[in-house]
Amino acid sequence: MGKSTIPFIFENPCLNNIFTEVTRSAKASKLFCFQNFTLEKIKKNNFNILVSDNSSLIKIVNQDIKLDSIFLVNEPNQTSSNFKIPSEVININIPFKMSDIYQRIENCLIQINIHSKRIIKYRNFSYDPSTRKLINQSTFLRFTEKEGQIFTCLMENSDPYITKKDLLNKVWSYGDSIDTHTLETHIYALRKKIDSKLNIKDLIMFEEKKGYYINKEIL
C-alpha cells in the first residue's frame, strides 16, 4: 500500500512558507506525505485528514467539506468570534514540533484504517455503526442512537424477518413500560427520515404474522 497524501492549506503566506520548509526538512513518515493543495483541489478529492490555518478552516467548514480530522495551526486572534470550531479539529499551537505532528497524524491514519474495516458495505451505500451513518457517494444520513439500534438489528438479524416482540427485546430490553406503539413510532420516524434525506422508499417493510425486514436490494 502506498503512502497517504495529507494536504495542507494556509491563507497566511508566512505560515505556508514555514510549513512548506519544515515538511521538506523533516524526517519523512512511512505512512504519509504532505502536499500543498488549493481549496478547489481539496473539494475534488476525498481526503481524511487536512492541515490548515484559521482562515482556510472557515472556508472549508462553510463549503461543507467532510474530513475525519483537521489539524489547525493556531493563529492568535484570527478566528471569528461567531465561528464554531468543529469537533474534528485538533489544535496545534505555535511554536510546534514537527515530530509531534507526524506522530499525531500517523495515529489518526491507524485509527481511520481500523475504523474503515468495521464499515458494512452494500451495492450503493455503506453503513458505519460507530457514527450511525448510512452513506452513499453524494450524501449521508445519521441515525439517532435508537434508530441506529433498530437499523442494526434489522440488518444483522439471521432471519429476514424480525417480530415486533424480538425487536423490542433487543432495542429496549422489553421493559414493562415499553409497548409496540413506541416501536412503531420510531420506525415511522425512521422511514420518513430515510425517504426525506436519501429519497429511499420501502426500505423498512412489515408483513403481518412475520414482522419487519430490510429490503436490502435497495441498498
pLDDT bucket at 14, cuts 50 / 70 / 90: confident
Across the chain, the runs of DSSP E, i.e. the strands, are 4-9, 32-36, 49-52, 69-73, 89-92, 120-121, 126-128, 133-135, 140-142, 204-207, 211-214
Alpha-carbon span 58 to 60, nearest angstrom: 5
Identify which of 56-60, 119-123, 154-158 has the greatest average pLDDT: 56-60
Looking at residue 175, its pLDDT comes to 55
- State whether 144 and 100 are in the same domain: no
Looking at residue 27, its pLDDT comes to 75
Q: What is the pLDDT of residues 96-141, one digit of tens each?
A: 888 888 889 988 888 777 766 677 888 888 888 878 888 887 788 8
Q: What is the pLDDT of residues 161-218, one digit of tens each?
A: 898 888 888 888 755 556 788 889 999 999 999 998 888 888 999 998 899 998 888 8
- State whether 103 and 150 are in the same domain: no
> Residue 162 sits in which domain range?
121-218
- State whether 97 and 11 are in the same domain: yes
- State whether 63 and 144 are in the same domain: no
Decide which of 65, 91, 116 is a domain's last residue: 116
Q: Report whether pLDDT(9) > 90.
A: yes
- State whether 92 and 134 are in the same domain: no
Looking at residue 95, its pLDDT comes to 81
Looking at residue 19, its pLDDT comes to 86
Decide which of 69, 93, 116 is a domain's last residue: 116
- State whether 112 and 164 are in the same domain: no
On average, the pLDDT of the chain sits at 83
- State whether 26 and 103 are in the same domain: yes
- State whether 13 and 73 are in the same domain: yes
- State whether 45 and 105 are in the same domain: yes
Grid cell locating 184: 412503531
Looking at residue 178, its pLDDT comes to 65
- State whether 208 and 147 are in the same domain: yes
Q: Report whether pLDDT(77) > 80.
A: no
Q: 192-205: buried (b, 16+ CB within 10 Å) or exposed (e) per residue?
A: ebbeeebebeebbe
Cis amide linkage into residue 95, ω under 30° from 0: yes
Decide which of 59, 81, 116 is a domain's last residue: 116
Looking at residue 189, its pLDDT comes to 92
